[in-house]
């Protein structure tokens, strides 16, 4: 399986079947993604190969050890080695192609955003909206 960042500068491949994914809802992952959760998995170093763009990767690390590697062109989070574990962390959204993996674990639900709660009245679209105006109108609905 292959994967790449948003601009395509950073590219990688993974040999073999992927493990299932986890979604982390902690504050750090929400801030790093700008979303409700970070979806990712791990693979062994032996199964991971950089194709291109390693020189384009920058890293941010907090004193606590939290680390986010990202493409310096587009800002996408990209894979990184998990300290000295022999594992590579892979953001699920970068992967291309079909996988049998699924989200199997949700972490830090106590930190999840209050706006994340599923609503039976929310609009669900198979594709994007017909226009930005129709999306804006839908966002103004109160129930």
pLDDT reported for residue 72 = 98
- The string of pLDDT tens digits covering residues 68-104 is 999 999 999 999 999 889 999 999 999 998 788 999 9
pTM: 0.85
Cα–Cα nearest to 37, from 117, 100, 96: 117
Question: What's the CATH architecture for 2-115?
Answer: Beta Complex (2.170)
Binned at pLDDT 50, 70 and 90, residue 119 comes out as: low
By the 10 Å C-beta count (0-12 exposed, 13-18 middle, 19+ buried), 62 is classed as exposed
Binned at pLDDT 50, 70 and 90, residue 6 comes out as: very high
pLDDT reported for residue 49 = 98
Contact 138, 123 (CB under 8 A): yes
d(CA 82, CA 67): 9
- The string of pLDDT tens digits covering residues 50-63 is 999 999 999 999 99
Residue ranges per structural domain of the chain = 2-115
């Amino acid at each position: 399986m292959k994967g790449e960042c948003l601009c395509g500068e950073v590219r990688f491949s993974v040999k073999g079947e992927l493990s299932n994914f986890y979604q982390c809802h902690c504050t750090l992952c929400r801030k790093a993604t700008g979303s409700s959760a970070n979806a990712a998995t791990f693979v062994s170093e032996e199964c991971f190969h950089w194709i291109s763009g390693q020189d384009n990767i920058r890293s941010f690390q907090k004193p606590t050890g939290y680390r986010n590697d990202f493409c310096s062109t587009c800002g996408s989070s990209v894979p990184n080695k998990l300290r000295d574990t022999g594992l590579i962390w892979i953001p699920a959204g970068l992967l291309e192609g079909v996988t049998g993996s699924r989200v199997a674990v949700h972490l830090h639900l106590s930190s999840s955003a209050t706006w994340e709660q599923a609503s039976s009245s929310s609009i669900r679209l198979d594709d994007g909206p017909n226009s930005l105006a129709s999306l804006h109108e839908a966002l103004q609905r109160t129930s």
